[in-house]
Structure 1
Amino acid sequence: MAAAAGGWFWVGFGAAEGVGPEPVLLGAPPETIRALRPSWSFVGLVEAAGGARLVARRGSGAASAAVPGGACRDLVASERHVVVLREAALEAWRVEGPGAALRAQQPVWRRQLSAHEAAAAGESRAGGQGGRRRCPDGRCSSPASPLPRSLLPAELPLVAGGYVEPRAASFFRPLSPALRARQLALGHEHALLLAAAAPDAGHLFAWGAGRHGQLGHGDLASAAEPRLVEALQGVPLGQVAAGGWHSAAVGEAGELYLWGWNESGQLGLPAKGMMGSPGGATTAEAQCSRRPSGGLQAPQESPPAAFISIQAFPALLDMPEEADVSKVSCGSRHTAALTRTGELYTWGWGKYGQLGHRNTATCDRPTKVCCFEAWGLGVAEVVCGPWTTFVLALPLSHPQRHSCQRAEHPEESSACPPEDASGAFLPAGAP
């Protein structure tokens, strides 16, 4: 089978309504998309040409709305508002009705940036998500970024002096000048900050609601101000991600740490819903829970719990085949990890097909997403929305026979067909 053209694929909620949980190819060529910012029901696309638009499912087709107001450097979105970074200002625009329509003539909030802040914002967005597109194991046909992920510039929600939060009434929240950030990730009720400057360089701070253990402080207490995650002190970290009520961090050596709520197995730990309780696991889920393809390192002197609902300390996850992780992204209750060799693993809540395994099963073990490899594509980037997963998959220079066919676990094979479920997202000539 010839390799697919590649591009950004939409997986999960709204991606293929009425035809099953199949990846859907976005119509825009990947080189035209500088950043991709999902919300629950739509995704914001920051275009390389300077514009931005919101794309949502509407019936069997798609609805697209341009973000008004001129050039856009970056954006973050909630269901009600989109916060946009302009050349010299931050603006919040109200999202109205189905299809992510932007009918307002004026922003509902605006914060002017000083000349220094505007220059800093322009410098920090020079790479953007587009600069992070790295070909897996050097095998893609498009050029790779020369910068390691840890050296790439920060992005929204970080701005000079603080960060923006589209769900907050004030939209802008200040940060202490002493706490210089390399990256900031927002969950539904908490925030993670990876520090950039001495004496805190590489340290992780967390604050917000803690009732699900998502702060990693070892308890369920909330924190009003950034507080050091002591369990990871001394561990060189390259990237962090915040889910709805769980958190993740990637070490510079490729190790993956997870903590917080495990209601749907999003931590890769045994979940209550997978243990055969009434109204719990389906057949596919039960098969997933028995796969010996990963697990957490735990003390051997105590027997493992039947299931784990909350993990309040960061815990190291054993990836299948001891894979090194280069990027992690978290949805509301699912997790996606990209390895350094361009393989994508997902686990957690799968009701809308957001795990990419051609089913709607929930899974509490890292499981390889096979369809892109079967198409001759390598995964270069992954971005989770709350109920979606967006995957940038590029053609491999030297396609190999995909390794997902396993007789002992046939349900792991996801060699999904390249036919798209909705032509509204496909460019001309796409597979």
Structure 2
Amino acid sequence: MRWFGFGFNAFGQIRVGERVVDKYDTADGVNVVTPVELKCHVDGSCISKISELRASWSRRVTLHSNGARCLCLTGFNAVSGICGTGCTDAIVGESFLILAFTDRVESWDLDNENKTPVWSMEVKTPPDGAAGASLDLPLICDGYIATKPPFYRPLSPHLKATRLALGAEHSVLLSASGAVYTWGLGSHGQLGHGGLSSEEHPRVVEALWGMTMSSVATGGWHTVCISDGGDLYVWGWNESGQLGLPSRTARAQKHQSSQTVADMSSYKDTPEAAMDKEVFISIQAFPALVDVTPSCDIKTVGCGSRHTAAVTSTGDLYTWGWGRYGQLGYETSYSDEPRRVEFFREQQMHVVDVTCGAWNTFAAVVKEEVASS
């Protein structure tokens, strides 16, 4: 399995060694539109295969299996000396790196050069056969771990969590029964309860009640989940088209790019007038079904700050939302319609997994002939 990345590269988190720290909004080399294969070190010394990848705004962390599992941190202030050998999972934020081992969880401060973790906690191993017996970060046996203090957050045992995702200011949990719970800030409809109120404690998303969900993901202020049948449900902020629903920003760009100066001088029904007749969604406070592609199901999904990426059952990658830094895998600043990343199809690569940083996207692929959809 090989990993490719595209999007924001100001700190060399995609192309290792390319670091732009000043005026990265306009600097050359910041945007990576065409996916490039990931490497860990400039000299290529880390040759073991990537087994897991997590990303934040300015960094990515990869786990490698080469005998003992080891960790590689890439991007802004990628300090050395962090002991990740033997860790089973990791998540990275803008200040702290969280490492999970079989018997403990550690937090490392990325803003100083201390060679020891700033926080550590022993963890219990769920009994074999128990719900959530194999838990991925940020979940642990009796709660979850955040990327900023307080690191440990307890969860009620009755929730029986199997997956948990953290947005900018909200959380979403998937239970063993396939129910979805959300809590935190709700100002952009990201909780899916129909309003903009916040929730202090986990509350079930009633609009999905009776439907079994298999996966959940969060962006900065939007939430997505996949049903057992491969359907994709979305809710929250849609300012950049990250929900795949009609967005005024995305449609304005589309109208503008489709009209030449000559067209505009003689066009009676201006693009602005045409847009006034359309219905746009800036906030979707209830779950909405998005038809990414009618020919196949959705297998896995990832969210950036304001973009979304989904892998289909045929091994294609579709992206939509904000794309200024190339994080959609094609040239556009905004898209409110799912669009296939043609690079992987052209290279006869079958996409099997996807994860997103705030402004970039990472896809795991295998070399395989992809059937036409």
- Identify the TM-score tier after normalising by the shorter chain: 0.7 to 0.9
Separation in structure 1 between the aligned mates of residue 197 and residue 169 of structure 2, nearest angstrom:
13
How far 1:87 sits from its partner (Å)? 3.0
Separation in structure 1 between the aligned mates of residue 73 and residue 127 of structure 2, nearest angstrom:
22
| Residues 4-58 of structure 1 deviation map (CA, whole Å, 9 limit, x = unaligned) | xx71001111035635522121126997322111011110112223221201279
SS in 1 for 2:324: coil
8 A Cα contact 2:193 2:285, kept in partner: yes
| Residues 58-109 of structure 1 deviation map (CA, whole Å, 9 limit, x = unaligned) | 9xxxx6846326421111110100011123211110113xxxxx72121111
Q: What are the within-5 Å matches in structure 2 for residues 256-335 of structure 1?
A: 256-276=232-252, 306-335=279-308
Q: 1:304 to 1:223 in 2, by over 3 A?
A: farther
Q: 1:228 to 1:307 in 2, by over 3 A?
A: same
Q: 1:282 to 1:65 in 2, by over 3 A?
A: farther
Matching residue of 1:51: 70
Separation in structure 2 between the aligned mates of residue 265 and residue 42 of structure 1, nearest angstrom:
25
The AA in structure 2 aligned to 1:85 is A
Q: 1:284 to 1:369 in 2, by over 3 A?
A: farther
Matching residue of 1:92: 107
The AA in structure 2 aligned to 1:120 is P
User: Given the alignment of the two structures, is residue 105 of structure 1 paired with residue 100 of structure 2, yes or no?
Assistant: no
Query: Where does structure 2 lack aligned partners over 5 or more consecutive residues?
Result: 19-27, 41-45, 260-275
Matching residue of 2:188: 212
CA RMSD in angstroms comes to: 2.9
Separation in structure 1 between the aligned mates of residue 297 and residue 133 of structure 2, nearest angstrom:
19
Separation in structure 2 between the aligned mates of residue 213 and residue 333 of structure 1, nearest angstrom:
14
8 A Cα contact 2:135 2:141, kept in partner: no
**Match for residue 3 of structure 2 among 5, 8, 23:** 8
- In terms of fraction of residues, the more strand-rich structure is 2
The AA in structure 1 aligned to 2:175 is A
Separation in structure 2 between the aligned mates of residue 283 and residue 352 of structure 1, nearest angstrom:
20
Separation in structure 1 between the aligned mates of residue 133 and residue 3 of structure 2, nearest angstrom:
21
User: Given the alignment of the two structures, is residue 354 of structure 1 paired with residue 327 of structure 2, yes or no?
Assistant: yes
8 A Cα contact 1:36 1:46, kept in partner: yes
Q: 1:151 to 1:184 in 2, by over 3 A?
A: closer
User: Given the alignment of the two structures, is residue 394 of structure 1 paired with residue 366 of structure 2, yes or no?
Assistant: yes
**Match for residue 186 of structure 1 among 161, 166, 171:** 166
The AA in structure 2 aligned to 1:393 is V
* Matched positions, count: 334
Matching residue of 1:175: 155
Q: Which has the higher contact order (CA 8 A, sep 6+)?
A: 1
> Matched residues, percent identical?
41
Q: 1:285 to 1:374 in 2, by over 3 A?
A: farther
SS in 1 for 2:362: strand
Query: Where does structure 1 lack aligned partners over 5 or more consecutive residues?
Result: 1-5, 97-101, 125-149, 287-302, 404-431
Separation in structure 2 between the aligned mates of residue 336 and residue 285 of structure 1, nearest angstrom:
25
TM-score (norm 1): 0.71
SS in 2 for 1:50: strand
Q: What are the within-5 Å matches in structure 2 for residues 55-74 of structure 1?
A: 55-56=74-75, 65=80, 67-68=82-83, 70-74=85-89
Q: 1:123 to 1:85 in 2, by over 3 A?
A: farther
User: Given the alignment of the two structures, is residue 160 of structure 1 paired with residue 141 of structure 2, yes or no?
Assistant: yes
How far 1:338 sits from its partner (Å)? 0.6
TM-score (norm 2): 0.82
8 A Cα contact 1:255 1:325, kept in partner: yes
How far 1:271 sits from its partner (Å)? 1.1
| Residues 377-403 of structure 1 deviation map (CA, whole Å, 9 limit, x = unaligned) | 11111111111100012111x466x78
Separation in structure 2 between the aligned mates of residue 385 and residue 69 of structure 1, nearest angstrom:
21
Separation in structure 1 between the aligned mates of residue 90 and residue 127 of structure 2, nearest angstrom:
12
The AA in structure 2 aligned to 1:89 is R
Between 205-214 and 68-77, report the one with greater CA deviation. Answer: 68-77
How far 1:203 sits from its partner (Å)? 1.0
Q: 1:337 to 1:51 in 2, by over 3 A?
A: same
The AA in structure 1 aligned to 2:250 is M
SS in 1 for 2:241: coil
8 A Cα contact 2:165 2:218, kept in partner: yes
| Residues 140-163 of structure 1 deviation map (CA, whole Å, 9 limit, x = unaligned) | xxxxxxxxxx99943100001100
